[in-house]
Amino acid sequence: MAIERDNLGGSWPTAGGDNARTGYSRDSVKPPLRVVWEYTDCDWIQGGIVVDEGVVVAGDRQGVLHAVSASDGSRLWTCPLGGFVTGTPAISAGHVFAASSREALCLDLHSGSPIWSCALPHVPDFPIATPGAVLVAGGRVFMPMEIGVAVFDAESGELVDRLAPGSGSSANAGVCCDEDDLYVPNERELICIVGGAVSTQFLGGKITCGPVVGGDLLLFGSNYHTVEAIKLRDLQSAWSSSGGEASDYASLLESRPAFAQGKVVFGGVDGCVYAVDAASGGPAWRTDLGADITAPVAIAGDHVYALATDGLRALRLSDGEIVWSFLAAGRDEAINSPPAVAGGMVFVAWRSLWALAEGRKSEPRHEIEWGDENRLNDPYGDPNW
C-alpha cells in the first residue's frame, strides 16, 4: 500500500491531494491565474473536489454528485446521493467512492455507472451524504459515517470492518495513512494501525480536523484551539501551536493543516492564514485576509491558495505575502470546499465550480455569481483581466 508522501501533480484524487492529506502538489501553478471554465449546473458545493484522469468530481448541498471534464467543464454525469454532501469522495483505479445517506457507492469515473453499493451500518437521523473524507488504501475503502468509519472491500463492496464507533464525522476530518500505517480520528483518541497492530493514543482534546502526515509528524486541529503535532515514531507530543498571534483561537478548528517545505499552513475564521515551523511549531508568518477561512488551504509548488468567504488568494509560501487575488463582494457565507490542484489548474467551488490556470484573460472581465454585487478585483490593475 505504498503511497507518495505528497502529490506529484496531474491529479488530486482524495482530500488533501494524497492519502497522507498533505494538501501539497508539486504541480506548480503560478499566479496570476485566468478563468478556464465555470460549471454552474450545481447547487452550493460544500464538500471537497477530487480530480483524476481528466475528470473533476464534487458533491453539492442538494445531495448530487457532479462529474465534469477537467479540460472544458462540460458535464459528464451526475448521481443523486440523497443527502447534503459535506465531505470529500475519493477516486482510485478509475472508480469514484462516495456515500449516500444510507449506502456506500462505487461508480465508474467516466460514465457514473454503478459498480457496487452496500448499506451503511449506521443511518443518521439527518440525511448527510459523505460526511467526511473518504480514503482508499490497501484494497479497502474507509468511508466516514455520521458515527464512526465503515471499511469496505474496494473490489466487491463487502463491509469488512467498522472503526472509531464513538466518533462523529466532520468535513475536514478523516482517516489518513503513511505507507502501510493508518491513523483514524475517534473523538478524543487516535486509533493507530501500525504494522498491522492496533493501538489507541488518548489525546487531551478532541480532533476537529485532520489528521495529516507531515514528514515525521502527525498533525491535527483540536478543540483546545491549537494545531497539535505528535511524533510518528512513538506517538508522543512534539509541539502545540496556536499560530502565534491569533485574535480568535477558534479560527484554528476547521481548516485541516497543509504541509510542505518544512511548514505547516492553515487558515482561520479570524481571517488569517498561519504558517508555523514544522520542526518546532514556532510561528513562521501570519497573513490577514480580512475574511473567514473555514476550508483547508492547498499548496502548489511555492504558493499557498486560500479560499475565504470573499474569494481566492495566492500567497507566497516563503513569507505569506499576497501576490494575487480573485475576489467577490456581496456574500458572507462559510466556504468549506478547499481548493484542489491538478494538471496545471486550480479548482475551487462555492455556488459554481471553477477551473483557473496560469495567464491573463483577453476577453472582458468575468463576474462571479455571488449575490447582489458581483465583481472581481485584480491586484495587478489590468482592466481586461
DSSP 330-372: S---------EEETTEEEEESSSEEEEEES---SSPP----SS
Cell representation of residue 325: 487575488
> What's the confidence (pLDDT) of residue 59?
92
Contact 184, 149 (CB under 8 A): yes
What is the chain's mean pLDDT, rounded? 83
Residue 17 in any domain: the answer is no
Residue 4 in any domain: the answer is no
Residue 62 in any domain: the answer is yes
Residue 109, domain extent? 24-358
SS3 label, residue 252: helix
Residue 385 in any domain: the answer is no
> What's the confidence (pLDDT) of residue 367?
38
CA proximity to 38, closest of 379, 363, 289, 305: 363
Regarding pTM above 0.85, the answer is yes
Residue 64 in any domain: the answer is yes
Contact 280, 259 (CB under 8 A): no
DSSP secondary structure letter of residue 321: -
Cα 138 versus chain centre, distance: 21
> What's the confidence (pLDDT) of residue 7?
52
Q: Is 319 exposed, middle or buried (0-12, 13-18, 19+ CB in 10 A)?
A: exposed
The strands making up 353-358's β-sheet, listed across from edge to edge, are 33-39, 353-358, 345-349, 340-342
Q: Residue 324 maps to which CATH number? A: 2.130.10.10
Residues contacting 294, CB < 8 A, separation 6+: 254, 255, 267, 269, 334, 335, 336
User: Residue 141: enclosing H or E segment and its boundaries?
Assistant: strand 140-144
Rounded Cα–Cα distance for residues 380 and 384 (Å): 11
Residue 365 in any domain: the answer is no
pLDDT lower than 70: segments of the chain: 1-9, 122-130, 164-171, 243-253, 328-334, 361-385
**What's the number of domains the chain is made of?**
1
Residue 370 in any domain: the answer is no
> What's the confidence (pLDDT) of residue 377?
41
CA distances to 27, 73, 323 from 344, rounded to whole Å, are: 6, 15, 18
Residue 16 in any domain: the answer is no
Cα 85 versus chain centre, distance: 13
